[in-house]
Amino acid sequence: MEFFRIQEKMISKQKLIEAVSQILEMRTRGFSQQEVADQLGVDRSFVSRLESLGELRKGKTIALVGFPILNKDEIMEIANREGVDYVLLWSEEERNRFVSERTGAQLMNEMMDMIPRVRELDVVILLASDFRLKLLRGLLDNEILTVEIGESPLTEDKWVDPQELLKVLRAVKGARKKEKPKDRRSRE
């Protein structure tokens, strides 16, 4: 255990970590900031400041799904840099290998696992052919943004404009900022 002497106080790092973990656990289980504060004997503002201190970002979660993508690595890098929550990008070769290396039942099971994962996210950006975009739109009930990369059937990888994707991602992220609730103190 690590201890810190601050003037007359002896502080346990482990005790702080456990308290923060308990606060975060309770908040993820649905307790309000005030309920957590009351139960742990701290101010509600402390719980709020703690969340702000650890916050990575607010707002909508984003998925990026696309195939067959020629510049997959470049698009993946942009998605990662911009904080996309779920990325599934395939080249034509990877897509064909995914299908050919599985039985029909395995393919169906894996697809049935992927769909709910994507449906949990708020916004899905789809990069695909005209036909695939319609099909995927029918499977998902998220907010969907589409980028058509060609007419079906696509049999070769298609280049995706990185700057165009960046514009779309930043527009989604910009919409998040606009959706932030206003500070109540400014209205009072």
pLDDT tens profile 35-48: 999 999 999 999 98
- pLDDT at position 182 over 50: no
- pLDDT at position 17 over 50: yes
Nearest C-alpha neighbor of 158 from the set 147, 150, 146: 150
Mean pLDDT of the chain: 89
In the chain, % of residues over pLDDT 90: 70
pLDDT for 173: 83
Class of the CATH-defined domain 62-178: alpha beta
The string of DSSP letters for 155-188 reads -S-B---HHHHHHHHHHHHHHHHHTSPPPGGGT-
C-alpha to C-alpha distance for 3 and 14, rounded to whole angstroms = 8
Of the two residues 54 and 75, the one the predictor is more confident about is 75
C-alpha to C-alpha distance for 179 and 33, rounded to whole angstroms = 21
pLDDT tens profile 117-156: 899 899 999 999 999 999 999 889 889 999 999 999 999 9
pLDDT for 51: 83
pLDDT tens profile 20-35: 999 999 998 888 999 9
Nearest C-alpha neighbor of 82 from the set 171, 179, 180, 157: 171
pLDDT for 53: 81
Q: Where are the domains of the chain?
A: 11-55, 62-178
177 pLDDT band, cuts 50/70/90, is low
